[in-house]
């Protein structure tokens, strides 16, 4: 499958235009009342799309209004929507974006705090943040995002510990390979029993639609980057295994709002391996993203589901990141 590069680039231009219209004069983003839920991916997206000046203004606002004395984020507005349940996810994206923008006063202070939340024995990150106990849940989503932040910060020790934790999650899958547990507790015990109505947050079931493909996909993208950084093949093999798991999913695996990071991860593997199957996956997901774009240039639904007003800003920043980095990987891999 070929990639309609022109359509993807036009979608990215429209997304940038929509995104910058949401920025206030002081650098903050609408809706202001929901704080980090709306802006956590925006510094990264602005850095990637050539809007560094706007990104720096946002980072300055974050330092003044969201970063506390300990380096934790969410000081003034707290955590809204899904960020209440995934403590590390938002800060990890802010750290990576600030580092790309050269805003070290933000990235280094925030990383000093975030890295302290890594479990000392497993390498995973505690879903509940600083108030969680060592036996509480560690989630793959926040852990993978924190791992990406570690790579941007040049913290190989934390990155390797995250990578090894995520490789062991593959080993904990049932022998049939049809289910993946997304949380562990009491060390590394997979969470098999949980609250009613939370199946999608705790397990992925191959063959069922609407699955959270973005979790193993973000893991795969991180592991591919870690393999590049460390030159260790085990991380590359892990990345391939996670993408292969998603490829076994239902028919909506390319076109669901939960699919963006699947294409992004596949593009990283295409860049590293040259395997055209990964290019096909990435192109299929890009096509689905472009088709879901609104006429005004935005997207309504981020991969991590949210009912908050800020979901539109988050979804648009996220789609912009996926499109631009996936295109870069596909173009570089074809050389």
Q: What is the CA radius of gyration of the chain?
A: 18
Q: Give the bridge partners for 138, in sequence order.
A: 126, 184
pLDDT, tens digit (0-9, with 9 covering 90-100), for 6-21? 999 999 999 999 999 9
189 strand-pairing partners: 185
pLDDT at 42: 98
Query: What is the per-residue pLDDT across 254-297, written as a single tens digit (0 to 9) for each?
Result: 999 999 999 999 999 999 999 999 999 999 999 999 999 999 99
Residue 160: the pLDDT is 98
Summarize pLDDT for 52-102 with one digit per residue, the tens. Answer: 999 999 999 999 999 999 999 987 888 888 899 999 999 999 999 999 999
Parallel/antiparallel/unpaired status of strands 138-139 and 189-190: unpaired
- CA diameter of the chain: 55
With H, G, I as helix, E, B as strand and everything else as coil, classify residue 254: coil
Question: Per the confidence metrics, is the pTM higher than 0.85?
Answer: yes
How far is CA 218 from its chain centroid? 5
What confidence category does residue 196 fall into, taking pLDDT thresholds of 50, 70 and 90? confident
Percent of the chain with pLDDT over 90: 87
> Taking the domains of the chain in order of start, what are their residue ranges?
5-193+200-333
Q: Which residues contact 179 (CB under 8 A, 6 or more apart)?
A: 173, 203, 204, 205, 206
Task: Supply φ then ψ for residue 138, to 5 degrees.
Answer: -115, 130
CB 48 within 8 A of CB 56: no
Q: Please check the confidence at residue 313 and state whether its pLDDT lies above 80.
A: yes
Q: Kindly state the average pLDDT of the residues 217-241.
A: 97
What is the Cα–Cα distance from 287 to 292, expressed in whole angstroms? 9
What integer pLDDT is reported at residue 80 of this predicted model? 84
**Domain spanning 5-193+200-333: CATH 1.20.1630.10:** no
Q: Where are the alpha helices (DSSP H) in the chain?
A: 5-21, 36-39, 42-48, 52-65, 89-100, 104-114, 140-153, 156-171, 199-202, 214-230, 233-247, 260-273, 276-292, 311-333
Cis peptide before 150 (omega within 30 of 0): no
SS3 174: coil
The torsion angles phi and psi of 107, rounded to 5 degrees, stand at -65, -45
Query: Which residues make Cβ contacts (< 8 Å) with residue 15, sequence separation at least 6?
Result: 293, 297, 298, 299, 316, 319, 320, 323
């Amino acid at each position: 499958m070929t990639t309609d590069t022109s359509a993807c680039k036009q979608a990215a231009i429209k997304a940038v235009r929509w995104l910058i219209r949401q920025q206030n004069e002081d650098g903050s983003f609408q809706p202001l009342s929901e704080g980090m839920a709306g802006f956590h991916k925006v510094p990264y997206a602005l850095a990637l799309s050539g809007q560094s000046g706007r990104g720096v203004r946002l980072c300055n606002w974050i330092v003044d209004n969201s970063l506390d004395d300990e380096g934790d984020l969410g000081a003034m507005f707290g955590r809204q929507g899904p960020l209440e349940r995934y403590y590390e996810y938002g800060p990890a994206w802010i750290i990576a974006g600030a580092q790309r923008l050269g805003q070290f006063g933000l990235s280094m202070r925030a990383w000093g705090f975030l890295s302290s939340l890594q479990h000392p024995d497993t390498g995973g990150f505690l879903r509940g943040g600083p108030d969680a106990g060592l036996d509480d849940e560690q989630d793959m989503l926040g852990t993978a995002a924190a791992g990406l932040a570690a790579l941007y910060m040049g913290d190989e020790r934390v990155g390797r510990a995250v990578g090894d934790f995520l490789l062991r999650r593959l080993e904990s899958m049932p022998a049939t390979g049809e289910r993946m547990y997304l949380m562990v507790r009491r060390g590394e015990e997979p969470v098999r029993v949980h609250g009613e109505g939370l199946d999608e947050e705790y397990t992925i079931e191959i063959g069922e639609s609407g699955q959270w493909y973005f979790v193993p996909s973000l893991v795969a993208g991180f592991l591919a980057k870690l393999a590049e950084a460390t030159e260790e093949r085990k991380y590359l093999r892990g990345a391939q295994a996670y993408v292969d798991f998603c490829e076994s999913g239902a028919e909506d695996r390319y076109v669901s709002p939960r699919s963006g990071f699947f294409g992004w991860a596949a593009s990283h593997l295409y860049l590293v391996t040259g395997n055209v199957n990964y290019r096909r996956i990435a192109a299929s997901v890009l096509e689905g993203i472009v088709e879901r774009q609104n006429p005004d240039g935005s997207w309504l639904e981020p991969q991590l589901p949210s009912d908050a007003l800020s979901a539109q800003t988050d979804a648009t920043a996220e789609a912009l990141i996926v499109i631009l980095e996936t295109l870069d990987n596909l173009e570089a891999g074809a050389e």
